[in-house]
Structure 1
Amino acid sequence: MTSWTALVLAGSRPGIDPFAQAHGTDLKALIPVGGVPMVVRPVQALLTAPNIDQVRVLAQHRDRIAAALPADPRLSVEPSGETIAATIAAYLADPTTRYPLLVTTADHALLDPAMIADFCARADGADLAIGLVERAPLMVRLPQTRRTWLKFRGGAYSGANLFAFGSAKAASAVELWRSVEQDRKKGWRIIGALGLPALIGAALRLRTLDETLAAVGQRLGISIRKVELSNPLAAVDVDKPDDHQLVTAILEGRA
């Protein structure tokens, strides 16, 4: 079994976060979900997963995040960059970084060891792998949910906040991500950053997602793999009040 290092992104955006304030904190990662700070849930899932041997939580407010987490020799809380892309780019540029590297987020409150194992098994060997959920199974499971969908021939997909980096070669993809980081909730801008053929192909449904990723990978000189998660709940994070209500209901068995 391949041993993975996991990064959990628990940083904060500048300014006041009304979502966090509504839950009695100024840090989104510390919003209570099911009775515990949100960041605790993905961290515990990673520590429980048999293929994860190191968990590195990245945050600006390290002491406060660390105080919420369990004590474990495999767990560390380290400084975060100003943006997601800058943070990941710094780790890929560090010669001491161990691969493969799994990246997820503090708001992935439904992450569990089975999702982690499913993703890692199918991501292993790629320079970059992206966890996704296809729309049909998610809408069957949660018809009321609203997601950002990337639409291609053969399916529409929502991100699962799971990324795998097999080598430092994937840094070229992170630079591409930097160009659209502020527009990550606007699917057409993300696709547009992949180039005019990708944008036209997606608009006209001429290409599948696999074909698009293969073309982008060839352009960047890396292998990019789509990992379609078997559990559609992998696409549900806690990014807004409606998500918080939905995830709480799922954890309590009401949804």
Structure 2
Amino acid sequence: MTQTVPLDPGALTPDQARALFRAGLRVPTAGWCTGRTQANLIAVPRDQAYDLLLFAQRNPKPCPLLEVTDPGAVSAPIFPGDLRTDLPGYIVYEHGEPVAEVTDVTEYWRGDLVSFLIGCSFTFEAALADAGVPIRHVEQGVNVPMYRTNRTCRRAGEFGGPLVVSMRPVPAAQVADAVRVTARYPSVHGAPVHVGDPLELGITDLGRPDYGDPVEVRVDEVPVFWACGVTPQAAVAASRPKFAIGHAPGHMAITDARDTHHLVP
């Protein structure tokens, strides 16, 4: 059955959103379930989980861990839904290559998979909006643009690869506000990793993101870049482990945790 996007997805509860995704709705989740924490998902077999855990520990800016499950678990304390069905989109990887993009990974799920829920910058977007900072991808109704950079993450065992960033155009006069607001959310990427010239990150064309959609950058705006939880999937592509499952970039796990849980004074 075809599902339609609710008129006000921000007003939904996490349970309501997860039910829509379980029924097959595929849509980026920026602006959904206002006040609730969103998370990136990456799941790997148990024999690779320690390396991925170490990769996250060594690269906390792009990989702030919110939860790690036991092998085979399909839910988590902050995510009481089903990790196999209750996200709006998944990518299945074999030897680092995407082999399927689906809305349900039940047929691919393995009993030895360890799932990692990693902080997402969508979590602080309501605070940015409250501070008057525009959220262009939400305004345009598209996915946030994400880019692989020339910055290399610290390797851990099998896993290594480039830092991935998300970009939001910010009016020059509000950049300091954007930095101040997001710095108070260190467990969901925190302050930006770069402000200004994308070439310093090896990004040659903002109009061609590696993941997500391009957005308008106006003449009075500065591109601002935050570390992104798609970084582990870039590590999967670079390191080519035998098997992994990740969320489709921008199509997040909506948890029961509140954004305020991640706010520091």
TM over 0.5: no
- Structure with bigger RCO (C-alpha 8 Å, 6+ apart): 2
Between Structure 1 and Structure 2, the one with more strand by share is: 2
Normalising by the residue count of structure 1, what TM-score does the alignment of the two structures yield?
A: 0.30
Normalising by the residue count of structure 2, what TM-score does the alignment of the two structures yield?
A: 0.29
Between Structure 1 and Structure 2, the one with more helix by share is: 1
